């Protein structure tokens, strides 16, 4: 109870800082970077849910992230209504996950092949969109743009004011708010009967099916929800940057796996924390490198070394390590308290009758 209360308090403090303190400070660079981090954080949250709780290792979760972004840009350019485009994008990302998940789960694809299939789908989309640079590659009035993407992606507008796009500060608040709402939605989902069945399937799928649960159906539901969640991240990324084939590439998928491992597999907050920390570290290293680093200094090399050390030394991730440290400190304090009471002659311990 104490641990859950502290966790809820930590999330609440983080929400207050991100949604109140940062906008009040008015640092534009911080808010722009924060919008990008939040969109990636939602993507990390989607993989944390299906991998950590459902045991579904998707190497290509970025496919739904990119599909959400592209669907939003294309629908917004054709419809002229950004909020309708958002709904279409999230629905398409979720529907794509449902179709792909149906063939994988009803085909009884094993974990390794499932990861390969999802990664292949993501790389196929990356390869295809890179080849759509000609004028003939359009969907309605929206040019796909090839490797340049769609820089003219419309920005979400104020509700009821279609000619008033959101400012960078408002996009930041929207992105951070969506991240916290997504986190709470995942927490609630895991706490439901559906979530408990999903965890039981992860632990022992055969036993769960012998108890009458259709593992395929539960996996499909979780995979579809995570796909829609990744699509929301893609829409927010399209609003703070723009859509491009790089949303599907191997680097995005690889970073996503690393964020979850470093943050802590089996947790929801851990991968989001890992995502933020590693993105901030990459930004810092890139700034130092541009500021006159020596030739041997390379941000990717430094990140690679640090990540290798973290994965080898902290196999459970940062958040589980922090929780274990807190438990150890609490247990030590409790033990000291018991020893102090035992040594104090004025403290009378209750005697058993």
Per-residue pLDDT of 224-248, as tens digits, reads 999 999 999 999 999 999 899 999 9
Average pLDDT over residues 72-79: 95
Res 110: pLDDT:
81
Res 288: pLDDT:
62
Per-residue pLDDT of 78-102, as tens digits, reads 998 999 999 999 999 999 999 999 9
Q: Is the pLDDT higher at 281 or at 92?
A: 92
Res 161: pLDDT:
82
Tokens of 338: 């018991």
Quick count: other Cβ atoms within 10 Å of Cβ 352?
A: 4
Find residue 142's DSSP bridge partners: 139
Res 320: pLDDT:
82
Tokens of 124: 């196929």
Tokens of 97: 């996950």
Res 228: pLDDT:
97
Give 1's pLDDT tier (boundaries 50, 70, 90).
low
Question: What is the pLDDT of the chain when averaged over all its residues?
Answer: 87
Per-residue pLDDT of 171-205, as tens digits, reads 999 999 999 999 999 999 999 999 999 999 999 99
Phi-psi region of 123 (alpha: psi -120 to 50; beta: other; left: phi over 0): alpha
SS3 347: coil
Res 346: pLDDT:
47
Res 351: pLDDT:
44
Query: Which secondary structure element, helix H or strand E, spans residue 200, and what is its range?
Result: helix 193-203
Tell the residue number behind the tokens 């999802």, with chain if given.
118
Average pLDDT over residues 95-113: 91
CA angle, 234 then 239 then 240, to 5°: 100
Average pLDDT over residues 51-71: 94
Average pLDDT over residues 316-322: 82
SS3 162: strand
Res 139: pLDDT:
93
Those residues whose C-beta lies under 8 Å from the C-beta of residue 262, and which sit 6 or more positions away, are 274, 277, 278, 307, 310, 311, 314, 317, 318
Tokens of 241: 């940057």
Give 344's pLDDT tier (boundaries 50, 70, 90).
low
Res 2: pLDDT:
52
Query: Which secondary structure element, helix H or strand E, spans residue 161, and what is its range?
Result: strand 161-165
Average pLDDT over residues 279-305: 68
Give 21's pLDDT tier (boundaries 50, 70, 90).
confident
Q: Is the pLDDT higher at 7 or at 90?
A: 90
Average pLDDT over residues 30-36: 92
Query: Which secondary structure element, helix H or strand E, spans residue 163, and what is its range?
Result: strand 161-165
Those residues whose C-beta lies under 8 Å from the C-beta of residue 269, and which sit 6 or more positions away, are 7, 11, 183, 263, 319
**Cα–Cα nearest to 176, from 322, 344, 353, 11:** 11
Tokens of 283: 């930004």
Rounded Cα gap, residues 25 and 18, in angstroms: 11
């Amino acid at each position: 109870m104490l641990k859950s209360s502290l966790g809820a308090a930590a999330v609440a403090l983080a929400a207050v800082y991100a949604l109140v303190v940062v906008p009040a400070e008015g640092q534009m660079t911080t808010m722009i970077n924060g919008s990008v981090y939040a969109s990636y954080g939602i993507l990390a949250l989607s993989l944390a849910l299906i991998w950590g709780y459902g045991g579904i290792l998707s190497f290509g979760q970025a496919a739904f992230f990119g599909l959400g972004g592209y669907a939003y840009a294309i629908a917004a350019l054709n419809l002229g209504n950004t909020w309708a485009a958002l709904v279409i994008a999230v629905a398409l990302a979720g529907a794509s996950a449902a179709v792909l998940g149906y063939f994988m789960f009803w085909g009884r694809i094993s974990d390794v092949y499932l990861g390969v299939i999802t990664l292949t789908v993501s790389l196929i989309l990356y390869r295809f969109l890179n080849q759509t640079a000609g004028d003939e590659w359009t969907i309605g009035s929206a040019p796909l743009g090839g490797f340049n993407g769609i820089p003219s992606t419309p920005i979400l507008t104020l509700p009821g004011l279609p000619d008033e796009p959101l400012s960078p500060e408002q996009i930041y608040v929207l992105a951070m708010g969506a991240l916290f709402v997504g986190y709470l939605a995942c927490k609630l989902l895991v706490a439901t009967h559906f979530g408990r069945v999903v965890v039981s399937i992860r632990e022992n799928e055969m036993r769960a099916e012998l108890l009458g649960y259709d593992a395929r159906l539960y996996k499909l539901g979780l995979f579809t929800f995570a796909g829609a969640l990744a699509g929301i991240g893609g829409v927010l990324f399209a609003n703070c940057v723009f859509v491009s084939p790089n949303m599907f590439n191997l680097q995005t998928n690889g970073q996503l796996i690393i964020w979850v491992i470093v943050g802590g597999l089996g947790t929801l907050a851990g991968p989001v924390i890992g995502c933020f920390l590693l993105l901030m570290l990459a930004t810092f290293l890139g700034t130092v490198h541009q500021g006159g680093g020596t030739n041997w200094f390379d941000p990717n090399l430094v990140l690679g070394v640090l990540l290798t050390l973290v994965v080898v030394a902290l196999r459970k991730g940062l958040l589980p390590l922090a929780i274990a440290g807190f438990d150890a400190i609490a247990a030590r304090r409790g033990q000291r308290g018991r020893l102090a009471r035992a040594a104090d002659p004025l403290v009378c311990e209750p005697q058993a009758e």
